[in-house]
Amino acid sequence: MKQKIGFIWPQEPFLPQGLFKHFVYMGETAEYTRKLADVEILDLSVRPEKRSKLVEMSRDCDYVFLPVEAYTARSAKLLSDLIQENGSAKRIAYGTIASVNPKVLSPHFDVVLSKGNWEQAIKKMLSDYDTFKDRLNNGVHVENTPIDGSEWSHPPLDLLPMEEYNSIHPGQLEIRVQRGCVHNCSFCGEKYRVPERRVYHRDPQDTLKFVEKNTDSFYYLDATTFTENPEWAIETSRALGSLGVKWRTVTRADKITPRVAKEMGKNGCVKIVLRKKWQERLSR
């Protein structure tokens, strides 16, 4: 019998303006986990649920995963307490706070997934929890096992609350195309999530596979520095250009050339967000 897994995005103080962590941190992680177990997603930031629904998940699930960001830490702690009080599901924290400061969360969760790639840790956890538990350091998983781009999942549009997401960003879908970073910007937590200071890329054809199912959408391609590898950036741009979709992404001003920018523009890119550090330098 398959294990049952719940993913809960904790309630935020306000409706979210950005959804990339909802699509990527929660959505793509949940879709990867669905290869191994039955999965359900609750996003309390956009769709409030009755307490009875949360209690039901606490009782029915083997594990409940909570992505924890700075703005959801208090809500995540209260949810963890509720799960513990009403069921036997193991409470798993992951996300930015878990990567940057896992000791803050470890007293309140059964497991904190810290450095490394969450999917690999989840696979080990579900296959043999007792062995996995014995290798934890005070409840914190610190082993770093990279996950190649060929293993990444797509956002599970059938599990995510797409009606609510669409009301925030009408017609926009988001997918992560790059992980890791070789830079060391003070404002970014990617160096904790992927500590080996390396960039991993999604195969352009895999991105195309997701996008071609939803060609009426506008896309945000989540990346740390989209143009870090110019040839990959061009190949990905051309793959999307073959479908005629519009998209935006993120990069650094010192990592883009006129050649790459021209290819991106020709193939549907309508906006590039520059990392904050470089915005400040350019404005001086």
**Whether pLDDT at 282 is above 80:** no
CA 256/CA 276 separation, integer angstroms: 15
Which residues lie below 8 Å from residue 235, measured CB to CB, with a gap of 6+?
Answer: 204
Strands 63-67 and 38-43: unpaired
pLDDT tens per residue across span 155-200: 999 999 999 999 999 999 999 999 998 988 877 878 888 888 889 9
Mean pLDDT of the chain: 92
| Contact predicate 237/215, CB 8 Å | no
Q: Please report, rounded to a whole number, the percentage of residues in the chain having pLDDT higher than 70.
A: 96
Q: Which of 6-20, 169-183, 270-284 has the lowest mean pLDDT?
A: 270-284
Strand ranges (E), the chain: 4-9, 38-43, 63-67, 90-94, 111-113, 140-141, 172-176, 178-179, 200-201, 218-222, 247-251, 269-274
pLDDT tens per residue across span 107-146: 999 999 997 789 999 999 999 999 999 999 999 998 888 8
Which residues lie below 8 Å from residue 208, measured CB to CB, with a gap of 6+?
Answer: 239, 240, 242, 243
- The whole-number pLDDT of residue 275 equals 61
**Whether pLDDT at 96 is above 90:** yes
Domain spans in the chain, listed from the N-terminal domain onward: 4-141, 171-283
The CATH code that applies to domain 4-141 is 3.40.50.280
| Contact predicate 140/186, CB 8 Å | no
Residue with tokens 């020709």: 266
Report how far apart, in Å, the C-alpha atoms of 19 and of each of 45, 56, 182, 278 are: 10, 26, 24, 23
pTM: 0.93
**Whether pLDDT at 79 is above 60:** yes
CA 235/CA 97 separation, integer angstroms: 34
Q: How many CB atoms lie within 10 A of CB 41?
A: 22
Phi first, then psi, for residue 175 (nearest 5°) are -150, 140
Strands 111-113 and 140-141: parallel
Domains 4-141 and 171-283 share a fold: yes
**Whether pLDDT at 249 is above 80:** yes
How would residue 284 be classed by pLDDT, with cut points 50, 70 and 90? very low
Would you give the distance in Å from CA 274 to the centre of its chain? 20
Which residues lie below 8 Å from residue 25, measured CB to CB, with a gap of 6+?
Answer: 67, 94, 95
Q: How many CB atoms lie within 10 A of CB 95?
A: 28
Q: What is the largest CA-CA distance in the chain?
A: 61
Q: Which of 34-48, 60-74, 268-282 has the lowest mean pLDDT?
A: 268-282
**Whether pLDDT at 246 is above 80:** yes
The architecture in CATH of the region 171-283 reads 3-Layer(aba) Sandwich (3.40)
Residue with tokens 């986990």: 33
